[in-house]
């Protein structure tokens, strides 16, 4: 369990019971493919964590540990990575796990036809690979990459049966084959994915609460997009656990004895608002700083999240060991905001009280994707809008469907945007703030949404990503974080929220993967 | 029939088809030809309409704009789905495939649209069908009760109808869930495989429809109650109940039948909301996600399906009208 | 109940709707085998009276009577159940509105069977046999098939008969027939009256309601005349018809055109204001006269109109019709419903293309030229329709309608034509304060006057009148006919006058055209056609007409 | 039933609509509190003396938002209805007065529009034009247009062969003039009834689109948006959904009552 995961599963769960069907209700969009290699988003990671396993993972303390891999070494120049694969593990279709299988997975991920985005990016530095023997895989890298093992811990690069991967993508999407404690049995579109226990499951390492197969017979993975319905279903006992729990539901649930709460913030970047520095008015650092002081985040977060979200002052998630926080930069100070804006030339006001410079209103466009933000977050944005108005800043929130939202980003039609990014390790900083990330992919996509283009920062990130020295890595990433925070490129809000509510009948909930998706190997349903 | 019902009711007049057709075969033929035309037109409209939506279809195939598909991957997808061809070639190719019963492969689900529809159609049909039945029953009961029970009954009945026809689906759904699941614990808030899971979705869908149909039916029934033939039935010694059951009810039903085409559209639109809220698999929900994901083949498939359903329903309601009302079809 | 006891005894019947008294203080009796006719103009309360006798006065009604004995029972405090046992069984009721009195969704057989079933008379098969028997009795051909048809498949006369069949199904002691012939044309009306006469001869008492004295003259034993909710005169048929006492009865009798020579007034002179003196230009008569030869103002040669029934079949609505309308004269067109009268008129008006043949107006080509060529000559040809209301734009006031017609469509602003409008209004006998009114707020007679005023506004030479009075009450009809007569005399108008009412045609026309199934079967001067009909159809038409009142 | 009692619903409906109309014209008169003013500390206050109808998740006054929301909600309803009617007028006139082929063509177009579920039409249109109030309005208008067009066409066809038009022809009036002076005005009259009814239904539709995330942009107090936002907090703060929902139901119902009584009055 990564650090930061808190579960109020208090006291002794009692003795385990074998059997039963767990009903999980997911509020995320139903994946179009159950194989997280294809595309690669969090909903896929959530469900795939039940039937797929990764080469590495994180232990309860948040330390990276080998999982399907036994060990890994890197050459001195950092360009050759050798991974040794654990013995005695078979996929649920009977295929044995070996180096060739892992190689087949990596090739699958790198094949354009697979259309992997997250996994593809994570393995982007691999130049070539070779299965030296059954248990040794040798990877040649284009440039050194010290976050490769962290990448290996993400479900998007989970290892699947090579035999199964040879099937058509349609078949593989419907029922990927892995080594996990459960296996996919059937998928009724828009309703549920049914998974059954993998009776032959072998735990890759010792250390879990028990060995052998999972306690639960099966898992029904339902898709219930409406938050209120999902919570009502949990209350009614129709489902046993729900994700994407709403803050108000959490607040009421923690007061009851029948519903328990699991808080598992996601790794990678924090949830933040990006300030687009590539165009007016945020190309002026003073205006960025002024905006950040003009909005009152803390009061809003407290009231909207009922204490379930802790304010963040870092570009990285609190579960990232290398996260650097700088609270002093982000205090609510409208007076200071006013001074800064006056200094930046936004001193006049128009009829509605908004600031004006050269006849142009200080107006910020804020596209918000309806599918990416929860209602509480949308309300937070509205409150930001309201407090910004007091300082004479107009914020225009555009609620958009996801396709249109990307359209706004690709055409640079935004001043503010919030786009969470999940990745294990501080390497996410390079994705989000390196100037290379301002160059759009063929799809138009780019991750550096604040559009920082700072050669010094680029250099810091480059060295931090390739150094073998852990201390230097930490120092460089801290400097990089300082730089983006002090440049007022982003307004951190809180960790990426990942709250689960579950029935008290469900025991031993809390184990998660490296990306904080829960796993139910040790979980059982009390009678 | 209320004016509102009139605008929504059977378009047989619009199509300009002559009702003077004496043979059933000709009637059938005209229905089939009309149906084929509608399907073709819907296909064409959707084909060109969707292509006007900004965004690259290849991008949609590769998992939407958020995915960082490589240029090669995009090109491969374009080729695989024939998107590299000129638009008219694509159009005729797709039309030809459509004639052969092939609706293409869904961009987002990566499986044949025909299969997706086959999987999602039954739950929606069950939901919509039952909702229609319940709506009919509720409308009839409301109409009969309020017609039978004097001024207060009429006021109460029409008040109920007007209010239930004015309730937004999603609001009703939320309130029903709060009431019957959270507070009373009688019914599951999400659809389940048990019949109990169908109750709330059906009520949500049926109630506004019932309100609407009730208004129309009661109008027709009230008109029948006031008519000369009702008076002559009374003069024959018929009781009020007899007049209602033997005469007015049919006229009320006729008003309801005329609404069935509209009801279908309303049910499908309502299904989008209801299926989302109650987490039911179905066509409505996939329509919403398909449009959001710019999944052109799936949107086309759903549109074609609902157009076909519309054509069928119209034919059936035409038939039903002819059965109930022999005036249609003659002269 | 003994034989001598009356079937119906009504004393001081009052009916009111929400405080509005509609019927007050009515008393009458009907004895077995007797036929009492209740006559009076529209709205006088006849139907309300009839419905009250069955407890069906309607929602919101308040019925009071000192005596109300129906079929020997005091019905004043009847429960719904007692009423139901009376209705259909002891009293058969034929509703005023025959065309809509049968449920269009049910078969005629079912409707008739209802009466039998409700009073539990016989088993299913017995009842079915009885239904067929009844349909046969009322003179429907192929009764077995008729029983399985719905009212929409029957003609008006057939529906009226089916309704009668359902009313007499249980051999009621008393039959109430409310306007049983109004909707029917002369031939069919006559046969329905015959049928009712047969029933009465079979021993039933009857209350016959009509607004037309001429129609009841042949059947009724005694007559009660109603006006404004009261009975103003009552007596035997001979008493009432031959020596009417009440002025209202006299007016009603005078209003019937039957047997009144041309240009005799049908309505009391006092009913409309005196027309203003003639203007010289309008007084010119015989415009078409040249060198002593009278040229027709409107003439038709070989008119043919076919309507497509299907792709292959055509229906001959008008076939080879010829006529000449002479200046200052009236050409009457008569014939049963569907004989092609209206179609002919529409062709003459240039509203319908002719399939063959020509129409000439004032000696110039009319039907063959395009509408644009006709447009500026339209002012010499006007039209008056059966239903004036629907021919007005409901949003316009009377004066706007007239202004539009006066200005040839240039304006609807009445100010420009104030003088002419008031002249027109007084010409047709409408009070000046009617100018502001919308057509819907006018009475039937007033509407028809307005329609005539509008038709006269462009100073036409020819008026085509298609059933201009058949929707009107006898007394109102009389006023309108008088008006048309008078206008013709004063303005020298020519009329093409269409009616199915022989009496009206005879009263109005100089020449007559008898049509049947699209063809003219006979034509000639009014006198010759009516006194010496040459064609057999004309003779049967004349025979079916109700006898003229003077002959009784 | 006494006439007073019969008139009561009509009076009530008229009063309600007038109230909301007043709210749309002069919201500050009825609700002086700023509908956008947030107060996180007072979030989720239950209805009471301070906040008549409670507050929402941002502590905004619900009563004030409903009153201030009347303008955009009614405007959405009215504009959508106007667009639907306008489009229908063109189509209906073409069909009813433009000759057989036009009639046939328009008839087919209408049939096809009918065969597409309204929501699909709206969704596709919103995808095409991007979300927003204008788009919503046009989308809802588009959805209703075929129905109105069919009505108008039927009206025009009925009028075209009416005695009124015949009388005008006999008086020598041109077709164009007959269309303008007699047919169109008379075809439109019954549409007033429909427009009233459509107003309520259009607001309902717009609300549904808001629920699907395609409505007006925040923080504008639009009823549908308020309704769908409050839905999340149903168990915590029922008043957040109940009152905006009530406003929608009341307006839609009042519009129905009014249009039905207009119709009854018109046919008399
Ligand atoms: N249900 C009713 N409510 C109110 N007024 C009514 C009702 N029924 C009839 N009346 C009024 O009663 C009066 C008499 O109507 P009734 O139908 O008896 O006339 P009538 O003599 O039969 O006329 P007609 O020859 O036109 O049939 C009319 O003024 C009519 O408007
Ligand atoms: N537009 C039309 N299309 C088809 N048939 C028509 C049309 N107009 C009239 N007819 C038919 O032509 C025949 C003559 O009709 P027309 O209206 O001229 O009769 P009429 O003598 O005026 O009858 P009535 O006395 O009932 O007014 C009827 O059978 C009628 O059904
Ligand atoms: Mg009457
Ligand atoms: Mg005629």
pLDDT digit string, tens, across residues D13-39: 889 989 999 988 888 888 778 888 888
Closest partner residue to B227 among C56, C100, C310, by Cβ? Answer: C100
Is the dihedral angle over the CA atoms A95, A99, A104, A108 positive or is it negative? positive
Which protein residue has the closest C-alpha to ligand 1 atom 5? Answer: C17
Could you tell me if C298 and C234 lie in one domain? no
Cβ-based neighbour number of residue A328 at 10 Å: 8
Q: Is C183 in the pocket of ligand 1 (CB under 6 A)?
A: no
Q: What is residue A341's DSSP assignment?
A: H
Cα B235 to Cα B232: distance, rounded to the nearest angstrom: 5
From chain B, pick out residues whose CB is under 8 angstroms from the CB of D190.
3
Cα A347 to Cα B41: distance, rounded to the nearest angstrom: 58
Q: What are the extents of the domains in chain D? A: 2-44+51-266
Q: What is residue C101's DSSP assignment?
A: S
Spatial CA neighbour of C193 closest among C70, C35, C44, C339 = C35
Spatial CA neighbour of A453 closest among A436, A467, A468, A441 = A436
Could you tell me if B33 and B123 lie in one domain? no
More confident residue, A312 or B64: A312
Could you tell me if C245 and C343 lie in one domain? no
Asked if residue B298 is part of any domain, the answer here is yes
Peptide bond into A281 cis (omega under 30): yes
Cα–ligand 1 centroid distance for C473 (angstroms):
14
Low-confidence ranges of chain A (pLDDT < 50): 1-4
Could you tell me if B162 and B22 lie in one domain? no
End-to-end CA distance of chain C: 35
Position of tokens 């019925």? C63
Q: Is C479 in the pocket of ligand 1 (CB under 6 A)?
A: no
Q: Is C24 in the pocket of ligand 1 (CB under 6 A)?
A: no
**pLDDT averaged per 10 residues, chain C (length 552):** 72 88 90 88 86 86 88 84 87 83 87 86 85 86 86 80 87 88 73 80 86 79 89 88 86 77 69 44 43 78 84 82 90 86 90 88 86 86 86 87 82 78 85 85 83 88 87 80 88 90 87 90 89 87 67 41
Boundary-marking domain end, from C195, C224, C255: C255
Q: What is residue B185's DSSP assignment?
A: -
Cβ-based neighbour number of residue B92 at 10 Å: 11
Three-point CA angle D93, D97, D103, nearest 5°: 85
Asked if residue B127 is part of any domain, the answer here is yes
Comparing B129-138, B205-214, C184-193, D118-127, which segment has the lowest mean pLDDT?
Answer: C184-193
From chain B, pick out residues whose CB is under 8 angstroms from the CB of C93.
232, 235-236
Cα–ligand 2 centroid distance for B245 (angstroms):
37
Helix residue spans in D26-61 (DSSP H): 27-30
Cα B267 to Cα B127: distance, rounded to the nearest angstrom: 9
Contact C349, C463 (CB under 8 A): no
pLDDT digit string, tens, across residues D44-79: 888 888 888 888 888 889 899 999 988 888 888 888
Whether D48 contacts chain A with CB within 8 A? no
Closest partner residue to D169 among C351, C454, C458, by Cβ? Answer: C351
Q: Which atom of ligand 1 is nearest to the CA of C96?
A: 27
Could you tell me if B141 and B95 lie in one domain? no
A–D touching, 3+ CB–CB pairs within 8 Å: yes
Could you tell me if C144 and C239 lie in one domain? yes
Asked if residue B9 is part of any domain, the answer here is no
Is the dihedral angle over the CA atoms D216, D58, A372, B290 positive or is it negative? negative
Asked if residue B234 is part of any domain, the answer here is yes
Could you tell me if B72 and B140 lie in one domain? no
Contact C148, C107 (CB under 8 A): yes
Contact D86, D148 (CB under 8 A): no
Residue B103 three-state SS: coil
- In chain B, the residue whose alpha carbon lies closest to the alpha carbon of C54 is B235
Position of tokens 């909903």? A43
Boundary-marking domain end, from B99, B127, B154: B99
Could you tell me if C315 and C246 lie in one domain? no
Q: What is residue C271's DSSP assignment?
A: G
pLDDT of residue A256: 87
Boundary-marking domain end, from C201, C235, C255: C255
Cα B104 to Cα B102: distance, rounded to the nearest angstrom: 6
Which protein residue has the closest C-alpha to ligand 1 atom 12? Answer: C22
Which protein residue has the closest C-alpha to ligand 2 atom 3? Answer: C307
* Inter-chain touch C381–D164, beta carbons under 8 Å: no
- Report the mean per-residue pLDDT for chain B: 80
Whether D103 contacts chain B with CB within 8 A? yes
Cα–ligand 1 centroid distance for C215 (angstroms):
21
Number of domains forming the structure of chain C: 2
Asked if residue C1 is part of any domain, the answer here is no
Could you tell me if B304 and B268 lie in one domain? yes
Residue C168 three-state SS: coil
Closest partner residue to D171 among C378, C390, C395, by Cβ? Answer: C378
Whether D214 contacts chain A with CB within 8 A? yes
> Residue D225 above 80 pLDDT?
yes
Largest CA distance in chain C: 81
Which protein residue has the closest C-alpha to ligand 2 atom 9? Answer: C343
Whether C383 contacts chain D with CB within 8 A? yes
Spatial CA neighbour of C382 closest among C495, C539, C542, C226 = C495
Is the dihedral angle over the CA atoms D131, D136, D141, D146 positive or is it negative? positive
Closest partner residue to D219 among A375, A385, A400, by Cβ? Answer: A385
Cα B177 to Cα D120: distance, rounded to the nearest angstrom: 26
A223 pairs with which residues across the strands? A26
Cα B294 to Cα B61: distance, rounded to the nearest angstrom: 9
Pocket of ligand 2 (CB under 6 A): C 307, 315, 317, 335, 337-343, 500
Q: Is C475 in the pocket of ligand 1 (CB under 6 A)?
A: no
pLDDT range class, residue B323, cuts 50, 70, 90: confident
Boundary-marking domain end, from B99, B121, B149: B99
Is the dihedral angle over the CA atoms A224, A226, A231, A237 positive or is it negative? negative
pLDDT of residue D50: 82
| Backbone phi and psi for residue D112, each to the nearest 5 degrees, phi listed first | -65, -40
Boundary-marking domain end, from C205, C234, C255: C255
Number of domains forming the structure of chain B: 2
Boundary-marking domain end, from B99, B124, B142: B99
pLDDT of residue D223: 86
Asked if residue B309 is part of any domain, the answer here is yes
Closest partner residue to B306 among D117, D231, D238, by Cβ? Answer: D117
Could you tell me if C313 and C231 lie in one domain? no
Which protein residue has the closest C-alpha to ligand 1 atom 3? Answer: C17
Could you tell me if B298 and B172 lie in one domain? yes
Residue D164 Cα, gap to closest chain C Cα (Å):
4
Mean pLDDT in residue range B249-264? 78
Cα C329 to Cα A275: distance, rounded to the nearest angstrom: 95
Cα A356 to Cα A363: distance, rounded to the nearest angstrom: 9
Cα B56 to Cα A442: distance, rounded to the nearest angstrom: 11
Could you tell me if B226 and B302 lie in one domain? yes
Joined tokens for residue A169: 């993508």
Whether C458 contacts chain D with CB within 8 A? yes
Could you tell me if B92 and B143 lie in one domain? no
Which chains form contacts with chain D, at 3 or more CB pairs under 8 Å? A, B, C
* Inter-chain touch D229–A386, beta carbons under 8 Å: no
Q: Is C78 in the pocket of ligand 1 (CB under 6 A)?
A: no
Spatial CA neighbour of C246 closest among C227, C259, C274, C221 = C227
Residue B98 Cα, gap to closest chain A Cα (Å):
22
Mean pLDDT in residue range B140-159? 76
Cα–ligand 1 centroid distance for C57 (angstroms):
10
Could you tell me if B127 and B41 lie in one domain? no
Which protein residue has the closest C-alpha to ligand 2 atom 30? Answer: C338
Q: Which atom of ligand 1 is nearest to the CA of C49?
A: 18
Cα–ligand 2 centroid distance for C307 (angstroms):
9
Could you tell me if C234 and C304 lie in one domain? no
Whether D236 contacts chain A with CB within 8 A? yes
* Inter-chain touch D233–A398, beta carbons under 8 Å: no
pLDDT of residue C445: 80
Asked if residue C220 is part of any domain, the answer here is yes
Peptide bond into D219 cis (omega under 30): yes
Could you tell me if B130 and B80 lie in one domain? no
Contact D224, D131 (CB under 8 A): no
What's C234's domain CATH number?
A: 3.40.50.300
Spatial CA neighbour of B200 closest among A189, D246, A233 = A233
Could you tell me if B218 and B71 lie in one domain? no
From chain B, pick out residues whose CB is under 8 angstroms from the CB of D208.
168-170, 269, 273
Joined tokens for residue A174: 């419907």
Whether D211 contacts chain A with CB within 8 A? no
- C402: domain range? 294-545
Could you tell me if B160 and B32 lie in one domain? no
Which protein residue has the closest C-alpha to ligand 2 atom 10? Answer: C317
ipTM of the complex: 0.79
Fold of D2-44+51-266: MetI-like fold (1.10.3720)
Residue B162 Cα, gap to closest chain C Cα (Å):
25
Highest mean pLDDT out of B17-21, B157-161, C344-348, C538-542: C344-348
Contact D253, D13 (CB under 8 A): yes
Asked if residue B330 is part of any domain, the answer here is no
- B20: domain range? 16-99
Which protein residue has the closest C-alpha to ligand 1 atom 26? Answer: C42
Residue A272 three-state SS: strand
């Amino acid at each position: 369990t990564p650090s930061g995961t808190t579960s109020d599963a208090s006291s002794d769960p009692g003795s385990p019971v074998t059997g039963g069907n767990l009903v999980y209700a997911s509020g995320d969009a139903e994946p179009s493919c159950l194989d997280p290699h294809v595309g690669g988003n969090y909903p896929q990671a959530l469900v795939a964590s039940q039937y797929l396993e990764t080469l590495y993972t994180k232990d309860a303390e948040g330390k990276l540990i080998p999982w399907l891999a036994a060990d890994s070494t890197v050459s001195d120049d950092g360009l050759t990575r050798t991974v040794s694969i654990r013995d005695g593990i078979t996929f649920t279709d009977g295929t044995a796990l070996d180096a060739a299988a892992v190689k087949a997975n990596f090739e699958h991920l790198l094949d354009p036809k697979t259309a992997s985005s997250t996994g593809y990016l994570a393995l982007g530095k691999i130049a070539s690979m070779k299965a030296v023997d059954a248990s040794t895989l040798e990877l040649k890298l284009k440039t050194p990459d010290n976050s490769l093992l962290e990448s290996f811990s993400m479900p998007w690069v989970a290892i699947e049966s090579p035999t199964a991967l040879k099937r058509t993508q349609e078949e593989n999407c419907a029922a990927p084959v892995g080594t996990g404690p459960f296996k996919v049995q059937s998928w009724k579109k828009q309703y549920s994915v049914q998974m059954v226990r993998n009776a032959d499951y072998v735990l890759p390492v010792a250390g879990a609460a028990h060995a052998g197969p999972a306690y639960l017979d099966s898992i029904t993975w339902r898709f219930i997009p409406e938050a209120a319905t999902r919570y009502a279903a949990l209350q009614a006992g129709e489902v046993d656990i729900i994700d994407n729990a709403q803050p108000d539901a959490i607040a009421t649930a923690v007061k009851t004895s029948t519903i328990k709460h699991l808080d598992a913030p996601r790794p990678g970047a924090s949830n933040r608002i990006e300030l687009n520095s590539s165009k007016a008015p945020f190309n002026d650092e003073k205006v960025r700083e002024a905006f950040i002081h003009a909005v009152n985040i803390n009061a809003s977060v407290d009231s909207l999240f009922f204490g379930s979200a802790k304010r963040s002052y870092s570009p990285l998630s609190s579960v990232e060991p290398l996260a650097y926080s700088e609270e002093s930069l982000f205090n609510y100070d409208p007076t200071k905001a006013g001074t800064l804006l006056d200094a930046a030339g936004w001193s006049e006001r128009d009829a509605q009280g908004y600031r004006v410079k050269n006849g142009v209103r200080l107006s910020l466009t804020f596209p918000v994707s309806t599918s990416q933000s929860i209602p509480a977050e949308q309300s937070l944005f509205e409150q930001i809008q309201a407090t910004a108005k007091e300082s004479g800043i107009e914020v225009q929130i555009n609620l958009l469907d996801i396709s249109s939202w990307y359209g706004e980003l690709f055409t640079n039609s935004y001043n503010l945007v919030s786009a969470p990014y999940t990745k294990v390790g501080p390497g996410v900083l390079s994705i989000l703030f390196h100037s290379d990330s301002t160059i759009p992919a063929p799809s138009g996509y780019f991750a550096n949404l604040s559009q920082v283009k700072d050669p010094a920062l680029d250099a810091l990130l480059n060295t931090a990503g390739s150094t073998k020295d852990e201390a230097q890595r930490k120092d460089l990433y801290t400097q990089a974080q300082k730089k983006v925070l002090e440049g007022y490129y982003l307004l951190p809000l809180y960790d990426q929220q990942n709250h689960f509510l579950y029935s008290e009948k469900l025991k031993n909930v809390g184990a998660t993967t490296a990306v904080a998706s829960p796993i139910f190997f040790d979980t059982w349903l009390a009678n | 029939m209320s004016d509102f019902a009139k605008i929504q009711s059977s378009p047989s007049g619009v199509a300009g088809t002559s009702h003077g057709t004496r043979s059933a075969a000709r009637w059938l033929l005209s229905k089939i030809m009309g149906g084929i035309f509608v399907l073709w037109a819907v296909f064409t409209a959707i084909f060109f309409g969707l292509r006007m939506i900004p965004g690259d279809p290849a991008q949609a195939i590769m998992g939407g704009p958020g995915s960082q598909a490589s240029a090669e991957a995009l090109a491969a997808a374009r080729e695989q789905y024939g998107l590299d061809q000129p638009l008219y070639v694509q159009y005729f190719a797709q039309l030809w495939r459509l004639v052969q019963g092939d609706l293409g492969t869904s961009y987002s689900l990566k499986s044949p649209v025909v299969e997706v529809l086959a999987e999602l159609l039954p739950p929606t049909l069950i939901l919509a069908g039952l909702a229609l039945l319940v709506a009919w029953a509720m409308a009839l009961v409301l109409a009969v009760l309020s017609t039978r029970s004097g001024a207060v009954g009429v006021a109460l009945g029409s008040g109920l109808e007007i209010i239930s026809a004015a309730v937004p689906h999603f609001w009703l759904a939320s309130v029903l869930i709060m009431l019957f699941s959270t507070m009373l614990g009688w019914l599951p808030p999400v659809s389940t495989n048990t019949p109990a899971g169908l109750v709330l979705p059906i009520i949500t869908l049926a109630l506004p429809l019932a309100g609407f149909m009730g208004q129309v039916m009661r109008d027709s029934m009230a008109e029948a109650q006031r008519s000369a033939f009702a008076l002559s039935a009374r003069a024959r010694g018929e009781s009020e109940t007899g007049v209602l059951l033997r005469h007015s009810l049919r006229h009320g039903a006729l008003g309801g039948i005329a609404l069935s085409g509209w009801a279908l559209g309303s049910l499908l639109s309502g299904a989008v909301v209801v299926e989302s809220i109650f987490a039911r698999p179905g066509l409505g929900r996939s329509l919403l996600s398909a449009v959001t994901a710019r999944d052109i083949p799936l949107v086309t498939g759903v549109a074609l399906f609902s157009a076909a359903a519309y054509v069928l329903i119209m034919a059936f309601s035409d038939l039903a009208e002819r059965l109930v009302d022999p005036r249609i079809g003659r002269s | 109940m003994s034989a001598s006891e009356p079937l119906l005894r009504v004393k001081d019947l009052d009916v009111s709707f929400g405080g509005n008294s509609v019927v007050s203080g009515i008393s009458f009796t009907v004895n077995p085998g007797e036929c009492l006719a209740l006559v009076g103009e529209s709205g006088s309360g006849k139907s309300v009276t009839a419905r009250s006798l069955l407890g069906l006065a309607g929602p919101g009604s308040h019925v009071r009577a000192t005596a109300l004995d129906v079929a020997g029972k005091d019905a004043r405090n009847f429960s719904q159940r007692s009423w139901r046992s009376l209705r259909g069984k002891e009293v058969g009721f034929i509703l005023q509105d025959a065309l809509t009195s049968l449920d269009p969704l049910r078969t005629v057989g079912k409707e008739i069977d209802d009466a039998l079933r409700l009073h539990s008379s016989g088993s299913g098969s017995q009842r079915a046999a009885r239904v067929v028997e009844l349909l046969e009795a009322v003179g429907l051909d192929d009764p077995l098939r008729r029983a399985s048809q719905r009212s929409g498949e029957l003609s008006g006369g057939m529906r009226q008969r089916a309704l009668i069949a359902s009313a007499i199904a249980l051999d009621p002691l008393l039959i109430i027939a409310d306007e049983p012939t109004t909707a029917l044309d002369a031939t069919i009306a006559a046969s329905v009256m015959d049928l009712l006469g047969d029933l009465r001869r079979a021993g039933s008492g009857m209350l016959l309601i009509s607004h037309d004295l001429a129609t009841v003259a042949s059947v009724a034993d005694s007559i009660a005349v109603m006006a404004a909710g009261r009975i103003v005169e009552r007596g035997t048929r001979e008493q009432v018809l031959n020596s009417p006492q009440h002025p209202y009865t006299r007016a009603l009798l005078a209003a019937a055109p039957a047997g009144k020579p041309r240009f005799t007034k049908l309505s009391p002179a006092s009913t409309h204001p005196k027309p203003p003196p003639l203007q010289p230009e309008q007084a010119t008569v015989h415009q078409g006269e040249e060198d002593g030869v009278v040229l027709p103002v409107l003439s038709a040669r070989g008119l043919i109109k076919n309507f497509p029934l299907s792709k292959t079949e055509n229906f001959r609505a008008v076939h080879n019709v010829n006529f000449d309308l002479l200046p200052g004269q009236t050409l009457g067109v008569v014939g049963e419903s569907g004989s092609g009268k209206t179609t002919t008129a529409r062709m003459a008006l240039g509203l319908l293309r002719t399939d063959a043949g020509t129409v000439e107006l004032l000696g110039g080509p009319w039907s063959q030229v395009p509408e644009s060529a006709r447009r500026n000559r339209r002012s010499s040809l006007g039209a008056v329709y059966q239903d004036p209301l629907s021919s007005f734009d409901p949003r316009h006031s009377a004066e706007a309608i007239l202004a539009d017609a006066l200005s040839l469509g240039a304006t609807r602003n009445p100010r420009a034509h104030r003088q002419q409008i008031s002249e027109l209004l007084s010409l047709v006998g409408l009070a000046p304060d009617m100018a502001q009114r919308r057509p819907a707020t006018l009475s039937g007679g007033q509407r028809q006057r307005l329609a005539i005023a509008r038709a006269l506004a462009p100073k036409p030479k020819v008026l085509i009148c298609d059933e201009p009075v058949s929707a009107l009450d006898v007394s109102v009809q009389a006023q309108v006919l008088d008006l048309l007569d008078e206008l013709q005399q004063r303005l020298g108008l020519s009329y093409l006058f269409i009616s199915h009412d022989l009496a009206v045609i005879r009263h109005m026309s100089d020449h007559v055209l008898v049509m049947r199934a699209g063809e003219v079967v006979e034509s000639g001067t009014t006198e010759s056609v009516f006194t010496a009909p040459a064609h057999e159809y004309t003779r049967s038409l004349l025979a079916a007409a109700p006898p003229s009142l003077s002959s009784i | 039933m006494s006439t007073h009692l019969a008139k009561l619903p009509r009076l009530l409906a008229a009063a309600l609509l007038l109230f909301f109309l007043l709210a749309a014209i002069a919201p500050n008169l009825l609700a002086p509190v700023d509908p956008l003013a947030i107060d996180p500390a007072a979030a989720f206050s239950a209805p009471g003396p301070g906040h008549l109808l409670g507050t929402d998740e941002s502590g905004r006054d619900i009563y004030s938002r409903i009153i201030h929301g009347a303008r955009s909600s009614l405007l959405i309803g009215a504009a959508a209805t106007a667009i639907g009617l306008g489009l229908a007028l063109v189509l209906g006139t073409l069909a009813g007065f433009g000759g057989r082929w036009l009639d046939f063509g328009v008839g087919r177009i209408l049939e096809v529009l009918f065969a597409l579920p309204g929501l699909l039409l709206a969704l596709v249109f919103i995808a095409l034009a991007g979300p927003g109030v204008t788009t919503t309005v046009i989308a809802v208008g588009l959805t209703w247009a075929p129905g109105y067009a069919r009505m108008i066409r039927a009206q025009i066809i009925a009028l075209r062969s009416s005695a009124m038009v015949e009388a005008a022809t006999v008086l020598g009036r041109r077709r164009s003039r007959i269309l303008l002076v007699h047919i169109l005005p008379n075809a439109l009259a019954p549409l007033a009834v429909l427009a009233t009814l459509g107003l309520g239904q259009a607001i309902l539709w717009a609300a549904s689109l808001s629920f699907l995330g395609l409505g007006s942009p925040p923080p504008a107090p639009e009823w549908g948006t308020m309704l769908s936002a409050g839905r999340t907090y149903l168990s915590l703060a029922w008043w957040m959904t109940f009152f905006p929902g009530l406003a929608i139901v009341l307006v839609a119902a009042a519009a129905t009552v009014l249009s039905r009584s207009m119709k009854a009055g018109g046919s008399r």
